[in-house]
Amino acid sequence: MLCKQLVIITGPCWRCRKFMKLAVTHVVGTGDYNGPDEFSKEELNMARDHGVFIKKQYSQTSKEIYELLPIAFNQKQVVEASAVVAVLGDLENIRMAEKIYGQAVDAGFMPADTAKSMVEHYTGMYSSMPPEAIRQIAYTDGGLVSMQLMLVTRAKGYDTVPIGGYDKQKFMEAFRISERYIPIMLVAIGKAAKPGHPTVRLAVDDVAFFNEMPKE
């Protein structure tokens, strides 16, 4: 028989950051948690009897999470995950070149004069590149970084959901992200509440071609 628990914890109010009592219901043995917006009348009363002050706008523990939910079209993953990482592309990535090549020199992987000429070469190349080309590079790199983040997370025993379905314009405004960066992907990270759904992949022959393109 399923047993439901009312769990009361103390956490910070998203608005004033003061600690307050928060309530969730939990079906024992599952990863299913519900906040007060899904409580039955009895559960609301029970939480109130235990000192939880329930008001809809106070039912989120963090301002960021509260803001992200509607921006991600109310996809619950963004509030249920332990963390959500926003992968951004840096349109001024060339500004990091000196630091990166400097590190390679310090680590003994590259002579200083090679690093200097690399930095000069790429700085010149980027300064004459059309903004759209730089943007495309940032998207390509951002996709690789997102996948890498998911693989590393999985290797550490956690699960991820890549989220491309969010309002990127609103996200940039809400989190006050400068125009230097472009949104690539949100990656929700945590322990899977239930196993992922079974899925299929196209056969190699459908997607890989040797020295020719497929006939239309």
Ligand X SMILES: Cc1cc2nc3c(=O)[nH]c(=O)nc-3n(C[C@H](O)[C@H](O)[C@H](O)COP(=O)(O)O)c2cc1C
Residues that bind ligand X (CB under 6 A): 75, 77, 161-165, 199
Give the shortest CB-187-to-ligand X separation in angstroms. Answer: 10
d(CA 162, CA 212): 32
Q: DSSP letter at 110?
A: S
Beta strands in 71-180 (DSSP E): 83-90, 159-163
Closer residue to ligand X, CB minimum distance, 22 or 185: 185
Closer residue to ligand X, CB minimum distance, 54 or 185: 185
d(CA 140, CA 180): 16
Q: DSSP letter at 12?
A: E
Closer residue to ligand X, CB minimum distance, 12 or 162: 162
Closer residue to ligand X, CB minimum distance, 59 or 77: 77
Closer residue to ligand X, CB minimum distance, 98 or 167: 167
Residue type, 196: G
Give the shortest CB-144-to-ligand X separation in angstroms. Answer: 13
72, 78 Cβ separation under 8 angstroms: yes
Q: What is the dihedral of CA 73, 77, 82, 85, to 10 degrees?
A: -50
Closer residue to ligand X, CB minimum distance, 52 or 150: 150
| 3-class secondary structure, 124 | helix
d(CA 34, CA 74): 15
Give the shortest CB-146-to-ligand X separation in angstroms. Answer: 9
Give the shortest CB-139-to-ligand X separation in angstroms. Answer: 11
Q: What angle do CA 105, 106, 107 make, to 5 degrees?
A: 90
Give the shortest CB-197-to-ligand X separation in angstroms. Answer: 7
Give the shortest CB-192-to-ligand X separation in angstroms. Answer: 11
| DSSP string covering 92-147 | TGGGGHHHHHHHHHHTTSS-HHHHHHHHHHHHHHHHTS-HHHHHHHHHHHHHHHHH
